[in-house]
A = this chain, B = another copy of it.
Amino acid sequence: MRNIGICGAGLIGASWAVGFANHGYTVLVYDANPEIVSNFFKVVDQLADDLEIFKKVDLKKLKSSIKICDNLEQICKDSLLIQESIVEDLDEKKKIFLEFEKYASVDTILASSSSYLLPSKISEKLKNKQRCIVAHPALPPHVVPFVEICPSSETSLEVIEKAKDIYKTAHYVPIVLKKEIEGFVLNRLQGALLNEAVRLHEEGYASIDDIDISLKHALGIRWAFLGPFEIMDLNAPGGIGDSFTRYRKGIKKLAQQQNSVPEYTDEYIKKLESEQRERLKLTDREERTKKRNKLIALVRKLKLEQGE
């Protein structure tokens, strides 16, 4: 049994399907919305294009490993894991997990792609909570090799290990949270940076253009291959302990100043929108998204070539 069930055939579902099918899994896809289903393989074609940057893709073979199913039962029956990728709404996710439980064997792992919601909440109504996790990808999961697994306190260790193996086989780098927290690691790190970017802009210290430059022409170049704890190890001759001892006063002082909560009022969002439109056209969003995917693939390829 090498089946992966995907529930929800939008961009995230399609991206997961390509990621799994590209590494030997048979992927069974279901979506209740016929319009999304009819568009599905067009999206798959586009996503497969990005993979060409790594190596030649046998598109026919890839697509033959992905099957659209008529009902939920079909994707549940013989699957190792079901990757729920529906809308980010707790009630909807709770409902669909109850459906999974109806049809899936007790050995099947039930994984939500939620970027924020707690697995204990999503699995609240289930009898077999031990096989439920959140497995949150980084957008878009067919080129970014990352998934964060968040178990609830009821998830079994065996399920965590099995899930790790499944994602590793599909060439993802899985991380595992030790206990659940909203936003997990990825969106908590991203949110901390985003909130500070908004504070700097809203309080008039810097333009959105200059803040973007600070990330993409400085911090981001390092962060493309080094994490914060690896970087701190290089910032003083004695390593990370030496670094934190030297710099803790400043880092703490910043933390004390960074605890206001941006309000994100309608007025502020309008201001952001209008400043953004002065420098970036909304009409080339699709083109910019394509370019983003291409650059992600190129940076990832460069890292692989360098053994990273």
Contact = CB atoms under 8 A, between A and B. Distances in A.
A192 B254 contact: yes
Interface stretch (A41-49, A72-80, A282-290): A282-290
Contacts of A176: 210
7 contacts: A187-B250, A192-B254, A194-B251, A215-B227, A239-B277, A241-B269, A245-B269
B191 A251 contact: yes
Interface residues of A, number: 107
Given A181-B205, A224-B223, A254 B210 contact: no
A195 B254 contact: yes
Given A138-B219, A241-B269, A252-B262, A212 B189 contact: no
Nearest to A207: B178
Interface string A235-255: 101111100110010111111
A259 B199 CA distance: 13
Contact of A177 (B175, B192, B205, B230): B205
Contacts of A185: 200, 205-206, 210-211, 214
A210 B175 contact: yes
Interface of A: 116, 138-139, 144-146, 148, 173, 175-179, 181-183, 185-197, 200-201, 204-208, 210-230, 232-235, 237-241, 244-245, 248, 250-264, 266, 269-270, 272-273, 276-277, 280, 282, 285, 288-289, 292, 294-296, 298-300, 302-303, 306, 308
Given A192-B193, A194-B228, A296 B221 contact: yes
Contacts of A298: 302, 306
Contact of A261 (B116, B195, B227, B255): B255
A254 B215 contact: no
B194 A214 contact: no
Given A189-B193, A262-B252, A144 B221 contact: yes
With most chain B CB atoms within 10 A of its CB, the pick from A224, A263, A303 is A224
B188 A254 contact: yes
Contacts of A181: 200, 205
A186 B197 CA distance: 10
A295 B241 CA distance: 24
A272 B241 contact: yes
Contact of A189 (B146, B219, B222, B308): B219
A225 B216 CA distance: 5
B255 A206 contact: no
A221 B276 contact: no
A258 B112 CA distance: 25
A44 to B, nearest CB: 20
Contact of A183 (B238, B250, B263): B250
Contacts of A146: 213-214, 217-218
A178 B285 CA distance: 29
Contact of A186 (B219, B251, B252): B219
Contacts of A257: 182
